[in-house]
Structures are given as structure tokens and as C-alpha cells.
Structure 1
Amino acid sequence: MSLTNLDKRPEKSGRIQLDPESAEQGLAQLVLTVIELLRELVERQALRRVDGGTLTEQEIENLGVALMNLDVKMDELKEVFDLDDEDLNIDLGPLGNLL
């Protein structure tokens, strides 16, 4: 058995790895990628609303705190599953990278 077989972390190929030996890692990578994509979309929409002047000062403050808390939680989850930002930027083939 080679040392590379002992490493349960997927290769940095930019693709989701869902082989039986690393299914949990691959599933975590996929779920966190979807969450990161949604977080970025929400953040962009929030900035548009802030720039558009449709939010009160309190709503802006609450939104900022919520986005910061989500960022902290994402960092914690990436650490738990030994993932980094590059791992969440999956390769969509001819469409390019997701994030």
C-alpha cells in the first residue's frame, strides 16, 4: 500500500471527489461549495440593496453581522473538513471554475 492511499484528502484537481474511501470529505466539499456560492450571491445582493438605499441603518448593521458570522462559521467548517478556498472552487469543465 502506498502512502498516497493513506491520505484521505482529495487531490487539488478542482473537482469534487466522491470515491467510497473519501465520500464524507467529498460530500462536505460539495455542500460547503454550494453554501459558499449562496453566501456570495447573498452578499452581492446585500451590497446592491445597501447601495440602492433600501435598507435602514439597523438592517445594514444586522446584515453585516450576519455575513461576518457566516464567514466565521464557514472558516470553522473548512477547518473541520480540512478544506480551503481553493477546494471549494470546483472545476465545471468547459464553463470554467465555479467561484
Structure 2
Amino acid sequence: MTPERSVPPRPDALQDVGDSLSHAFRLVQTPPDAHDRPPRPASRLHTDPDTVGEDLLKLVLTIVELLRQLIERQALRRVDAGDLTDAQEEELGATLLALHDSLADLCAQHGYSLEDLNLDLGPLGPLLPRD
């Protein structure tokens, strides 16, 4: 039998974001693509040791915002295709709105806006689409 590890409690706002993101993933789940490519090896990341905590936080928030936008687009496709019942549409909409609000609150707590999370990818342009 494997011993259980204790997990430190997470702040409520972070818990809300995680729960909302998990719930949204379950609601728009699609079968995995059989032709997925293997992950590329990670490259080195150079950061300032004094700001590595804030840099990591901003990166995590950016990834969560990217996932939220992708889930939102998938949800809209499913709504347009008529794949969801009215109750599922309502639940999905409420979940995505709660996730957006929780993420905005987390950003505000750390002095960011949602617009600050848009990484510039150089010649590829911004990571997140501009509304």
C-alpha cells in the first residue's frame, strides 16, 4: 500500500481556478487525436533569480488563460453544432464565466491584468488572440 502524502492547502482563489478549469475540461472533452506528436524536449529558461517566483506565477496564469480561451472556443463550436443541451450550455457558460472571474481576481491580487498575460512570440505574434 502506498503511503499518502500530505498536500499543503491552496488559497481559495487558486482552488477556484483549478476546479473551474477541471470542470470546463470535462464539459468540452473530445477524444484524443491518434496522430499526436511526442512532446519536444524542453529548452533552458533564463530568469532573474530575484523575480523567478513572479515570473513563474505569470507563466502559470498565462497558460491557464490560454487554456480557458481554448475551452471557450471549443464550447462555442459545440454550441453551434447543437451538441449540448440547454442545461449543459448554461452550466458550461457559468463555469467559463467563473473561471474568467477567478483568473482576473488572481491577476489583480498580483498586480497584473489579463492583457499582461499575452506573451510576445516575436515573429509569430502574440500568444493570445486580441479581442
In the alignment, does 2:91 pair up with 1:62? yes
Q: Distance in 2 between matches of 1:90 and 1:81?
A: 17
Q: Hey, which bits of structure 1, 4+ residues long, moved more than 4 A?
A: none
Partners of 1:18 and 1:65 in 2: CA distance: 37
Structure with more of its chain in helix, by fraction: 1
The separation in 2 between residues aligned to 1:52 and 1:86, in whole angstroms, is 30
2:82 maps to which of 40, 53, 64:
53
d(CA) in 2 for partners of 1:20, 1:84? 23
| CA distance in structure 2 between the partners assigned to 1:73 and 1:92 by the alignment | 26
User: 5 Å matches for 1:4-23?
Assistant: 18-23=47-52
**C-alpha distance in 2 between matches for 1:65 and 1:86:** 22
Instruction: Give CA deviations for 1:27-68 in whole Å, capped at 9, x if unaligned.
Output: 111001011011000000000100110100110010011001
| 1:78 corresponds to 2:107 | yes
- TM-score, normalisation: structure 2: 0.60
Contact 1:33 1:89 in 2 (8 A): yes
Q: Is the 8 A contact 2:104 2:114 kept in 1?
A: no
RMSD across aligned positions (CA):
1.3
Aligned residues: 83
Asked if residue 29 in structure 1 is aligned to residue 58 in structure 2, the reply is yes
TM-score (ref. length: structure 1): 0.79
What runs of 5+ residues in structure 2 fail to find an aligned partner? 1-45
Runs of at least 5 residues in structure 1 that lack an aligned partner in the other structure: 1-16
**Mean CA deviation greater in 43-52 or 85-94:** 85-94
Equivalent residues of 1:91, 1:97 under 8 A apart? yes
Structure 2 residue aligned with 1:87, among 111, 116, 131? 116
